[in-house]
Structure 1
Amino acid sequence: MSDDTLYPVKSGPNVPLVIVCGCVIALLSFGPRSAMGFFFQPMTEAHDWSREIFALAIAIQNLIWGAAQPVAGMMADRYGTWKTLSLGAVLYAIGLLLMANAETPMALHLSGGVLIGLGIAFSSFSLVIAAFGRVVTPEQRSIAFGIGTASGSLGQFVFAPLGNSLIEGIGWQETLIVFSGLLMAIPLLAIALKGRPHAPASMGLGPDQSLTQAMAEAFGTRSFILLTLGFFVCGFHVAFITVHLPPYIADLGLDPSWGAIAIALIGLCNIVGSLISGYIGGRYSKSHFLSLIYFLRAIAITIFILVPASPLTVLLFAGAMGFLWLSTVPPTSGLVAVMFGPRYMATLFGFVFFSHQIGSFLGVWLGGYLYDRTGSYDAVWWMGIALGLFAAVVHWPIKEQPVARLAGQAAE
């Protein structure tokens, strides 16, 4: 039974309220996971763990997040966004509490890896973006997706210095408990996102379709496959940098506080980058814009690892990557909506996002694995450069047009 059955919508949704509450949810769900890198050193030192142990936990978190995202999308499309986000918030909070008390690598992998991964999947900003896609017009989607993505970035900007300050002030365990408590605001905020999980026909729904038919249609579309492959690279970059940039900066001999500053600056610049991306994606080719983003990422990483390290180079790199950080999300999600419409957007974007999280798993895990064996992150940085160039090539031929089912309807 859907939220639509329990809470019938007699009038259109309050779009501003949906946008505001959705943005706060995106901030809260994205914040704690973006601060995981600050627990790296205190947790490994407290338990005498290697970097690979902690990195594997976060890698599992990203993989579980990605694997569960299509399921979360199906649940949101079938039962409504409120139930899905509420379940995610509870799992997320429990995972943080158990992570605070993890005494063994297995406990860390189950709490910080599996439970938090499930919690993020069922409370993620991608579900918020899909909800936005059902309440705004097709012309408004790109900028709405940009606003939702920017809100997640604001969570990174807020939680990076907050997490670092709390860890220094009250300890890493207590900080995880505080984060757990903050997440319990999500079920209340998500009430505004209750309502029908189906977009009206006027929003570009097209002929009625089952979930199985929608998935077959998507995976039979070349552009969807290319989009899915390209998003793998985004996950590799973002996860590796989020978790390993703070310790990398410390390894360079700089004050560890520059790691917190860098992550916060990435989040701040990403707010602007996501909004600009939403604007550009609504007016120009989304696929070509994505190619440009990935190419610029490769250039930024190359310059950063080749020039002598200093606070200035850290700030410049963080600023550049911030503008390019989640600016991939509005055009990527926008392409899914353009190709297939909003009806099963949460599910289909969930599959694209699974590819992103496979990249995240490899970025985080390889960072820890190769560092423990070589004492350097150089190999992973160069992988990131090569993958950026690969993604630039893959996105270029993607066709920004509706599938035949929707194109036929538009022509009638």
Structure 2
Amino acid sequence: MADLRALRPVWPILLGAALMLSLSLGLRQSLGLFAPQLTRDLAISMSDFTFAIAVQNLAWGVLQAVAGALVVKYGFRPLLLGGAALYVVGLALLASAQGFLLVLIGAGVCLGISMSCTASALANSVASRAVPAHVRSLVLGGVTAVGSLGSLLAAPLGQALAEGFGWRTGVIGFAILALGMLPAAWFASKVDAIPLPATSAHEIGGTSVGQALRAAATHAPFVVMACAYFVCGMQLVFLTTHLPSYLALCGMDPMLSAQALGAIGGFNILGSFFFGWAGQRWNKLALLGIIYISRSIVLTFYFIAPPTPTTTLIFASIMGFLWLGVSPLTAGAVAEMFGLRWQPMIQGIAFVSHQLGSCLGAFGGGVLYDALGSYTLAWQIGVSLGLTAGIVQIAFALWRPPSQSAVAMG
């Protein structure tokens, strides 16, 4: 408790980062609620909509490392404020869309670029810079937990506006909420005034961009973590994009989709706090593997039987607990491996893998649905890859090269 009271001077920075993250993730995560109405109104297919979401995820991932490198040169403020403004522009373009092109530009390109500047990687980097190492994992869990509140507000609001006034009004409501990202980004960017700590002996990031990139590419624990991150993105974006369509296909009440996304957001708060606390005590890479395996088991039990409102909400609650727990674990692991100077860039490199998986989860799920008329093969692929990634991640977290073992024994 004394440690947390000592953080009082940086609370505005942490709360700004958390609010920015909350709106950035919550609004984007709830876009799938508009898909049934939007695709009918604009006469586009589900795969067209999911292609736009896939472009969003790809742009987010590819540009995340670039945004991280720009932070090193220019600081957080221009990236955070520019990203927040572009988020509002993207939603405005989506609300005015009359065909596929503006859906692609607004929901795809603009939101994708914006997310690279306002979502988990830079928000976690802000929080990491603001606090000392001995409470970093716990604080990252707290910021991620508060960042989960956005879907609790966005999902029911978006569904209510869409049902009462149409999907365009729902998107406009999201754009109004997104304006709150601007002051949040301003407060978060005050972290630029906090100097970087001295480099620790165990950090391997080097002193230049080239050295940092070479260190990441040759550091086996990081490479394994980044590859497993691919499956994380695939599973999560498949759900946020396609769960509303799956429930509609099964004849469920449309409001159930919003309730499920809200449950994900609510239990995400508990999960983020828990895994932030756990990461302060146990092997972060092993905890990541446990999350991937647990998600895959829960997905299997949910999809093998027809959904009901009760099973859907239980499923959403468990998945929510496992949802963003990866964020403080990944951010903390990267900071420990490479130091705070290179955390935004190297975490962004790992996030490229995550977003390639997200692209596959969104677009691949839509293609399989359009081709087969069901989501069966899509969820089976997601479960199989999730189990594999989790087992490899745990095995690697527990394994030590012979040279390390010899050093430890000596």
TM-score by length of 1: 0.90
State the TM-score, normalizing by the size of structure 2. Answer: 0.91
Do structure 1's residue 61 and structure 2's residue 56 form an aligned pair? Answer: yes
Q: How does 1:158-177 map to 2 (within 5 A)?
A: 158-177=153-172
Alpha-carbon distance change, 207 to 216 in structure 1, aligned in 2, over 3 angstroms: closer
What is aligned with 1:46?
41
In the aligned structure 2, how far is the partner of 1:185 from the partner of 1:311? 33
* Conserved 8 A contact 1:198-1:343: no
Give 1:15's aligned residue.
10
Question: What is the alpha-carbon distance in structure 2 between the residues aligned to residue 110 and residue 191 of structure 1?
Answer: 26
Aligned to 1:382: 380
2: distance between equivalents of 1:196 and 1:359?
A: 35
Name the residue aligned to 1:118.
113
- State the distance in 2 between where 1:272 and 1:302 align: 23
1:96 matched to which residue of 2? 91
Once the two structures are superposed, residues 374-399 of structure 1 have per-residue CA deviations (whole angstroms, 9 ceiling, x without a partner) of 00000110011111111112312445
Q: Secondary structure at the match of 1:201?
A: coil
Residues 272 and 323, structure 1, Cα contact 8 Å, conserved in 2: yes
Which stretches in structure 1 are left out of the alignment for 5+ residues? 1-11, 402-412
Write the distance in 1 (CA, Å) between the matches of 2:205 and 2:262: 45
Letter in 1 for 2:44: W
Aligned length: 390
Report SS of the residue matched to 1:49: coil
Aligned partner of 1:268 among 254, 266, 269: 266
Find the partner of 2:235 among 237, 246, 250: 237
- AA aligned to 1:109 is L
Look up the SS of the partner of 1:200 in the other structure: coil
Please name the residue that 1:139 is paired with.
134
Percent identity (aligned):
38
Return 170-179 or 246-255, whichever deviates more. 170-179
Q: Is the 8 A contact 1:77 1:198 kept in 2?
A: no
Tell me the CA shift for residue 138 of structure 1: 1.0
What is the rounded CA distance, in whole Å, between the counterparts of 2:87 and 2:184 in structure 1? 16
Tell me if structure 2 keeps the 8 A contact 1:81–1:190: no
SS in 1 for 2:180: helix
Q: Does 1:351 align with 2:346?
A: no
Match of 1:209 in 2: 207
Backbone CA RMSD of aligned residues: 2.0
**How far apart are residue 189 of structure 1 and its match?**
2.3
1:156 partnered with 2:148: no
CA distance in 2, matches of 1:208, 1:52: 43
Residue 8 of structure 1: aligned partner: none
Work out whether 1:31 is the aligned partner of 2:29.
no
Name the CA distance, whole Å, in 2 between partners of 1:19 and 1:176. Answer: 28
What is the CA-CA distance between 1:146 and the residue it aligns to? 0.7
Structure-2 change in CA distance of 1:394 and 1:172 (3 Å): same
Residues 256, 185 of structure 1: alpha-carbon distance in 2 compared, 3 angstrom cutoff = closer
Deviation at 1:284, TM superposition (A): 0.8
Report how far residue 304 of structure 1 moved: 0.6
- Residues 148-168 of structure 1 show CA distances to partners (whole Å, capped at 9, x for unaligned) of 211221111221111111222
Given that 1:80 and 1:196 are in contact with CA atoms closer than 8 Å, whether structure 2 keeps it comes out as: no
> Structure 2 stretches of 5 or more lacking a match?
1-6, 400-410
Shift, 1:230, TM fit: 0.6
Deviation, structure 1 residue 38: 0.8
Q: Is the 8 A contact 2:15 2:143 kept in 1?
A: no
CA apart distance, 1:196: 4.1
Task: In structure 2, give the amino acid aligned to 1:188.
Answer: P
Q: Secondary structure at the match of 1:199?
A: coil
Q: What corresponds to 2:256 in structure 1?
A: 258
Aligned twin of 1:363? 361
Structure 1 segments, 4+ long, off by >3 Å, are 202-208, 397-401
Mapping of residues 274-285 of structure 1, within 5 Å? 274-285=272-283
Letter in 2 for 1:48: A
Post-superposition offset of 1:231: 0.5
Write the distance in 2 (CA, Å) between the matches of 1:191 and 1:134.
16
